[in-house]
């Protein structure tokens, strides 16, 4: 992550982020975090804890603060190396908020009105449809464009936001010349949309009732219990068919991502064994996947000073890259230099 390394290697850049609005989930791990780790050697990676985004819904201040620290520990525990990837907290780099304002003036009301996440969230939280929720994708655009990111590893639900970032970059470049790199999303073939274990029509997310959502830091017994209760479908055979068997297909995806086994191999493994044995095996595979991560994260959390040093150094490094882009933008727009 040091400047010398970044300058001499000149790898293409990745940016991605996760909200500290709750603990990290199995969905966010399989949809994004796992790819963050896999891509981290080949790219110059900026992985962010997006606390500015999190306050579009109300957060309890002490909890928010604690979750940011937890999240840094979990990023590292999953295999991200702070010496190679820049692991930082969004609010530590003011350029995110600054560029966001500017890009608000280059993003259309109509574009933001079409964002499905805004439509979903404003329908579900009618008591707090704040302006930040509406302009949320502009802040995300600023996050990505500040670092000249080429690739944005995310789950399927963020695809539309990354497309917007690309459209805004294109529009800005069309007016001022080549200022921003055009970003592309990187969405895994499997695991891009992990569904709730309680209702396979809903995405697995922190807002799911207990049992529907699995968290990275869940204890083995909690994970096993949730999988044992997971919804399946009629018929007893373990077969991948998203339309007819959404519950079983979701479990097969989880098992496949956790173990690396193909759907054919999974079908053969559980042929004639029924759902009970299958659900236990999926639960156990997730327990084994998360066990070393949880143990490492717990150990890291015992060394707060180390975690603070990681995000402090990373913020300095990120700010240098971000300010370079911001200065260029200010100049292009016609702001007077200080």
Q: Please report the DSSP string for 157-216 in residue order.
A: GGHHHHHHHHHHHHHHHHHHSS-SPPPEEE--SSSSSPBPSS-TTSB--TTSPBTTB-BT
| Size of the residue set binding ligand TYM (CB under 6 A) | 27
Angle CA 242–244–248, to nearest 5: 60
CB of 26 to ligand TYM, least distance (A): 8
Which region, left, alpha or beta, applies to residue 148 given φ > 0 means left and ψ of -120 to 50 means alpha? left
- Rounded Cα distance between 335 and 119, Å, is 35
Using Cβ positions, the residue closest to ligand TYM within the complex turns out to be 31
Angle CA 72–76–77, to nearest 5: 110
- Catalytic residue check, 328: no
- Rounded Cα distance between 221 and 242, Å, is 28
Binding residue for ligand TYM, selected from 93, 144, 197, 319, defined by CB under 6 A: 144
**Residue 74 interacts with ligand TYM (CB under 6 A): yes or no:** no
**Residue 192 interacts with ligand TYM (CB under 6 A): yes or no:** yes
- Catalytic residue check, 332: no
- Catalytic residue check, 203: yes
Binding residue for ligand TYM, selected from 1, 13, 14, 19, defined by CB under 6 A: 19
**Residue 247 interacts with ligand TYM (CB under 6 A): yes or no:** no
- What the block records as the tokens of 336 is 């007077």
Residues 286-315: x/- map of binding to ligand TYM (CB under 6 A)?
Answer: ------------------------------
Q: Which residues are catalytic?
A: 121, 203, 206
Note the residues at the interface with ligand TYM (CB under 6 A): 15-19, 25, 27-28, 30-32, 50, 53, 140, 143-144, 152, 154-155, 157-158, 192-194, 203-205
């Amino acid at each position: 992550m040091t400047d010398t390394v970044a300058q001499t290697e000149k790898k293409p850049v990745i940016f991605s982020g996760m909200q500290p609005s709750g603990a990290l989930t199995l969905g966010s791990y399989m949809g994004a975090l796992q790819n963050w780790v896999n891509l981290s050697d080949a790219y110059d990676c900026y992985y962010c804890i997006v606390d500015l985004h999190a306050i579009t819904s109300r957060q309890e201040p002490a909890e928010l603060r604690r979750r940011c620290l937890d999240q840094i520990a979990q990023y590292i525990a999953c295999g991200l190396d702070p010496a190679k990837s820049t692991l930082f907290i969004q609010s530590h780099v003011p350029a995110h908020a600054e560029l966001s304002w500017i890009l608000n003036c280059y993003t259309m009301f109509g574009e933001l009105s079409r964002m499905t996440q805004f439509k979903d969230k404003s329908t579900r939280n009618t008591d707090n449809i704040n302006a930040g929720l509406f302009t949320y994708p502009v802040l995300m655009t600023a996050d990505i464009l500040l670092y000249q990111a080429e690739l944005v590893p995310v789950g399927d639900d963020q695809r539309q936001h990354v497309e917007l970032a690309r459209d805004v970059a294109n529009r800005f470049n069309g007016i001022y010349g080549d200022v921003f790199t055009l970003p592309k999303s990187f969405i895994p073939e499997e695991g891009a949309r992990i569904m709730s274990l309680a209702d396979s029509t809903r995405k697995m997310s922190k807002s799911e009732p207990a049992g529907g959502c699995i968290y990275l830091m869940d204890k083995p017994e909690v994970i096993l219990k949730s999988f044992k209760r997971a919804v399946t479908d009629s018929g007893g055979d373990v077969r991948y068919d998203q339309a007819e068997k959404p519950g079983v297909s979701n479990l097969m995806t989880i098992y496949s991502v956790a173990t690396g086994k193909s759907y054919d191999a999974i079908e053969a493994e559980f042929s004639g064994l029924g759902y009970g044995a299958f659900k236990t095996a999926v639960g156990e595979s997730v327990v084994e996947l998360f066990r070393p991560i949880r143990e490492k994260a717990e150990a890291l959390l015992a060394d707060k000073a180390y975690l603070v040093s990681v995000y402090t150094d990373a913020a300095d490094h990120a700010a240098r890259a971000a300010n370079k882009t911001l200065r260029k933008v200010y100049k292009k727009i016609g702001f007077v230099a200080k």
